[in-house]
Chains A and B, each alone.
Chain A
Amino acid sequence: MTEDTDARTAPETTPTATLSRLIRRVRARLVDDPLLCVPFLLAGVALSLIDELRRHDPVPARSLVGIHRLDFSLELVLIPSGSRGVRRILGGLTDLQPRLLLWALGLETAALGIVALAGYLTLARALDTGWSATSAGTYLLYVALTTGVFWIIGPLYVNLPLFLVMLWGPFVALWFLGLVRLFAVPAAVVNGQSLLDAARWSNDAVDNREWAHLALVTFFGVLLWLAELLSVGSTLISFAVVGPLHAVAVAVVSETRTVSE
C-alpha cells in the first residue's frame, strides 16, 4: 500500500494530522510528477515579462516587491497563482487615452489568460482529467471573476496591524471563511462542474477540515509574502513555487473528497 492510498483511507483526526497528510501528499505528487511544475514555471517567465512591460509603459503601475515590504502581510488568493510584482490600479485606467487603455487592458487580459491556462493545465494533469473547452472556459471565467474583484477593490492583504483592528476583523474572518470554503472550486471546475455546483461541492469537501485548509491558505499567503520580499525575480519564483503547490493541494483536497464519496 502506497503512502498515497494510505492517506486517502486513513481516518482524519486532528487538524494538524489532516494538514500533515495533505502536505505529504502534495510533496509526493510533485516528486512523482515534476512536469506539474512546468505550466506555472512558464507562466512565471511570461508574467515576469509582462511585469517589465507594465513597469516601462506610460500607464501607472505599482511595484509591490522588495525588502521595503517587510511589514508582514498575507495575500489571500482563490486560485492557484503566484504574486504579481507590478500591478495596475483601477484609477490608473480611468480617462486613459484609448490607445493606451487598449494596451493596458490587453496586458491584463493576457496575464489573466496565462494564469488561467497554467492553473487549468496543472490541475487537469494532477487530477488526471481530460481537457475540454467547456471546463477550460468555466475555469477562465472563474479566474476572471476572482481576479476582477481584486483588481477593482485592490489586492486584499491582511496586514498584521490591520488584522488587529477590530473594524476589519469580521470582514477578514468572512474572507478567510470564503477562501477555505471555496478552496476546491478550481478542481471541481476542471472536472467539468458549473461554477455554482463547484462552489457547493467545494463547500462540502472542506467539511470537518476547515482548520487544516485555513492553515494551508495561510501557508500559501506566507509563501507569497516571502516571495514578494525579493526585489528581483519575485514573480517568477512565486509562480514557479506557490502556483504548483497550490494547484496540487487543490487536487489532493478534491481527491480526498471524491474518495470519501
Chain B
Amino acid sequence: MPSRRAVLAGSGGGFAALFGGMFGLDRWQPESSRLDWPMVRCDAAGTSAHPELSGPKTNPTVRWHTETERDLQLIRVGSTLYGTGFTGFVAIDADSGTVRFRAPVTRSIGPPVRAEALSYDTPTIGVRTRENCVGYNAGGGLLDTSFGSQRWRSPDSTAGRGLTNPRESPRAPGNWVDWLWGTPVANNGTLYTPTGHGGIVALDANDGRPLWHWQRESLGPVSRPVVHDETVWFASTDTVVALQATDGEHLWSRSLDYRLRPPTATDSQLLVPHGEGLTALHPDGTVSWERTFDYKTHASSRVAVADNVVIFGSHETLYALDAATGATLWTRPEHTLPPVIADGIVYTSNGRQISALDIDTGERQFTWGTYSLRERYSAHGQFEPVLVGDGRVYVSAGSHLFALEEP
C-alpha cells in the first residue's frame, strides 16, 4: 500500500505536499535525544566523551562502509549522521550508511552542529560558511529532498565584517588537522560561533538572529568555544577569554604565553592544551595546575575527559592525567589523533590504525585498520575515530566512512 507521502507526490498535488510538509505530516523527522553526539567533540564543553554511549570493546567488524565527500566532519542525531564536506552538507542513515539527503553549502568551513529550535518540530543543524552560519532542518526538505531544507542564514556581516576572515581561518588540508578553529557549538538553543576576528557571535537557533556579539580584534583567530555552566570560554592565539553565555558580558581574559589549542571545560576546571603541554584553569582564570611535556604538542592536540581522567596526546605520547592534579596515570608511546571516549574506552588513532584503550589502565582492547583492509577498501586517508553511538564507532578515512561494531 503506497504511503501517504507517495500518494501526495504521485497525485501531482505539489501544493498539498508542500503544505503537508510544512505541517510535518508523514515526514521523516529525526528525534534528538540525550544519546546524540550533537557536535564535534561531543558536547558544548568539548569533552569528546559521552557518559551514556558505548562502542565496540572487542575486535569489531564493518557494519557498513560508504564513500562520501573527502574529510567529512560528522555528528549524530537520532539514527542519522550529518556531515559537512568541501561541497555540501549530507545526512546519512546511521544503520545502513545510505544517504538520506544532500544539500549544497557554498564554502562550508566547519562541521555541523545540532541545536534545539523550539519553534520547530525538528532540530536545526548549523553549518558555518566563510561569510555566515546557515541553519538547516535536520529533517531535510520537502518530499525527501534538500529542497526547502535551509531554514536561515545569519547576517552576512557582524559588526560590519563577515563571520570569518578566510586568511585567518583557512580550511585545513587534512581531516585530522585543525578544523576546530572557528567551529560553532550549541547550547540551550543558541549557537556560539567564532567570528575569526577575535570575536564570538551568539545566534538564535530558531531563526539565526544574532543575540549578542563580542569582539576584540587584537586577539586574532578564535578557537572552537566551550560552553559550561553559563560561561563561554575560547582561546585565541595566546589568550583565554571568558564571557557570560546569556549576554556576552566579558568576565575575564588571561594570557598564557603559549600557542593555545581549543580548550575543554569540566565541572571545576578549564583545560587548555597548548604547544608545550596542558594548563588547567579554575573558573575564575587562575591556574590550577600545569604540565609541560618533552615533545611539543601538535596542532591537532585535543583533550578528552571522562571519569576524572584527562586523555591528551602530545607529539609521541598519549597521556592519561588525573583531572584534579594533572598527575600522570598512564602513558602510551604513540602519536595520536584527537581521541573520543565512551563507556570507559578511549578510541584513538595513529593515523593508520584505530586503537581502543581502557581508560583506567591504558590497556589495548583492540586495533583495527590492517594494511590489507585499507587495500580492500582503497582507503588511503588517515583513519580517525570521529564519534561513538549505538554500539558503534564511526571512523573516517579520507573519503571513506566506516561504521564498526562488535560481531
Contacts and interface: CB of A to CB of B under 8 A. Distances in A.
B148 A90 contact: yes
Interface string A40-61: 0000000000000000001111
Contact of B137 (A59, A91, A101, A152): A91
A101 B121 CA distance: 11
Contacts of B18: 90, 152
A92 to B, nearest CB: 5
A92 B153 CA distance: 10
Given A95-B24, A96-B119, A60 B155 contact: no
Interface string B199-225: 000001011100000000000000000
A68 B157 contact: yes
A58 B23 contact: no
A94 interface: yes
A95 B22 contact: yes
A59 B206 CA distance: 7
A193 interface: no
Task: Give the interface centre of A94, A96, A100 by most chain B CB atoms within 10 Å.
Answer: A94
Task: Give the interface centre of B18, B119, B135, B152 by most chain A CB atoms within 10 Å.
Answer: B119
B149 A101 contact: no
Interface string B14-44: 0000100111100101000000000000000
A93 B119 CA distance: 10
Interface string A94-109: 1111101100000000
B406 interface: no
Given A94-B142, A94-B148, A95-B22, A58 B29 contact: no
Task: Give the interface centre of A63, A89, A93 by most chain B CB atoms within 10 Å.
Answer: A93
B119 A91 contact: no
Nearest to B140: A94
A89 B142 CA distance: 13
B148 A97 contact: no
Interface string B132-145: 00011101011000
A24 interface: no
B284 interface: no
B148 A91 contact: yes
A62 interface: yes
Nearest to B156: A68
A94 B156 contact: no
Nearest to B160: A68
Nearest to A57: B207
Contacts of A94: 21-22, 24, 137, 139, 141-142, 148-149, 151
B22 A61 contact: no
B23 A61 contact: no
Contacts of B21: 94
A101 B135 CA distance: 18
Contacts of A68: 156-157
A97 B120 contact: yes
A58 B207 contact: yes
A60 to B, nearest CB: 4
Interface of A: 58-63, 68, 89-98, 100-101, 152
5 contacts: A91-B136, A91-B141, A94-B139, A94-B148, A96-B120
